[in-house]
């Protein structure tokens, strides 16, 4: 009898999932996470009139917590360091979701995602001492100005929420990297999402009340949770095991463009030409910073 035959069905499923993710290149995992996040965000807009952004966040995290806990069966009496990191990651997730979904309720999806992306972009540039990176930072700033200064007017509260979501997302990349290094499976992610769901619960209840229990709403929320949390964060956690936070932040440069395209195709959210140029500028700045970092690292290795 093989080892896999001795495992329970849940353990075999988890093992198969781990092997499947391991066969996907890290950039593919980042792309899968982006598609899950943006697809779920677009789908969630239909729930805003019913339960509001906070209600969407509560349902999304609660359903995701149930799925991830059933899959990974995390141990609450685990290593205190791991529990602390999971709590920090869950807090950042909850804060990010609440801010980001409030932003998406007020801004086009592409604009909200571009502003949110400044968090990962800051991670990509963090610690750099090279003069060319100032050029890329300036290009990113120009992109933000183009996004907010022309075409469709952007709601001020939405801009603030998107910027706050960016700060939380940058913090989650750093914390998520530590969480991914604590174990080979998704038990840490399950703990983080469960804690985030508990933190968001009071806000969701205050905004939506008993509407959170409507069967039709729960069905859509389950789809949002699977796309935006289960699929997206599982892919991202696996990618963070293989990548540095800087490289992960750079690969996430596709997110603003994908968000804008999904908003255009599925939500009918149109942006002006200069606003599209702003989105492209932010992505180009991130790619440029990454290539410059890679060239500098290769040169340093050659010097040694």
301: left (phi over 0), alpha (psi -120 to 50) or beta: alpha
CA distance 128 to 35: 29
The pLDDT of residue 302: 44
pLDDT at 300 over 60: no
Q: Average pLDDT of 70-89?
A: 86
Least confident of 216-220, 223-227, 231-235: 231-235
Confidence at residue 297, expressed as pLDDT on a 0 to 100 scale: 45
In three-state secondary structure terms, 207 is helix
Q: How much is the average pLDDT of 107-123?
A: 81
pLDDT of 298 reads 45
- Given a cut of 60, whether residue 95 has pLDDT beyond it is yes
Residue 3 has pLDDT above 50, yes or no: no
Out of 42-56, 115-129, 222-236, 281-295, pick the least confident. Answer: 281-295
| Contact criterion met (CB below 8 Å) for 235 and 36 | yes
Structure tokens at 166: 């960016």
197 band by pLDDT with thresholds 50, 70 and 90:
very high
Which one-letter DSSP state was computed for residue 296? H
Question: Average pLDDT of 70-95?
Answer: 89
User: Which range is least confidently modeled, 27-36, 149-158, 185-194?
Assistant: 149-158
What sign does the CA torsion over 19, 87, 52, 257 have?
A: negative
Give residue 122's pLDDT band: very low, low, confident or very high (50, 70, 90). Answer: confident
Q: What is the pLDDT of residue 301?
A: 37
Half-sphere exposure of 20 (CA within 13 A, CB side): 9
- Least trusted range by pLDDT, from 160-169, 204-213, 256-265, 277-286: 277-286
Cα 202 → chain centroid: 22
Highest mean pLDDT of the ranges 5-9, 34-38, 88-92:
88-92
pLDDT at 110: 79
| pTM recorded for the entire structure | 0.76
Query: What does pLDDT average to over the chain?
Result: 81
Indicate if the pLDDT at residue 273 is higher than 60: yes
Q: 197, 61 in Cβ contact below 8 A? A: yes
């Amino acid at each position: 009898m093989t080892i896999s035959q001795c495992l329970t069905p849940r353990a075999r499923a988890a093992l198969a999932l781990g092997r499947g993710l391991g066969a996907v290149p890290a950039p593919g995992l980042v792309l899968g996470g982006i598609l899950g996040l943006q697809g779920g965000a677009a789908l969630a807009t239909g729930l805003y009139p019913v339960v509001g952004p906070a209600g969407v966040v509560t349902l999304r995290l609660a359903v995701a917590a149930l799925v991830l806990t059933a899959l990974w069966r995390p141990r609450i009496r685990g290593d205190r360091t791991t529990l602390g990191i999971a709590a920090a990651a869950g807090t950042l997730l909850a804060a990010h979701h609440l801010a980001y979904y409030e932003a998406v309720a007020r801004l086009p999806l592409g604009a909200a995602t571009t502003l949110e992306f400044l968090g990962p972009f800051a991670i990509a540039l963090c610690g750099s001492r090279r003069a060319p990176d100032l050029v890329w930072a300036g290009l990113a700033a120009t992109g933000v100005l183009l996004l907010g200064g022309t075409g469709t007017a952007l709601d001020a509260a939405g801009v603030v929420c998107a910027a706050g979501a960016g700060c939380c997302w940058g913090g989650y990349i750093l914390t998520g990297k530590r969480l991914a290094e604590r174990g080979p499976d998704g038990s840490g992610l399950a703990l983080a999402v469960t804690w985030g769901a508990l933190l968001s619960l009071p806000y969701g209840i205050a905004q939506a009340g008993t509407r959170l229990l409507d069967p039709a709403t729960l069905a859509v929320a389950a789809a949002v949770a699977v796309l935006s949390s289960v699929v997206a964060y599982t892919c991202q956690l696996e990618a963070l095991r293989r990548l540095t936070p800087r490289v992960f932040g750079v690969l996430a440069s596709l997110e603003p463009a994908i968000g804008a395209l999904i908003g255009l195709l599925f939500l009918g959210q149109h942006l002006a030409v200069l606003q599209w140029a702003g989105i492209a500028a932010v992505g180009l700045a991130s790619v440029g910073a990454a290539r410059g970092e890679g060239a500098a690292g290769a040169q340093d290795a050659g010097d040694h």
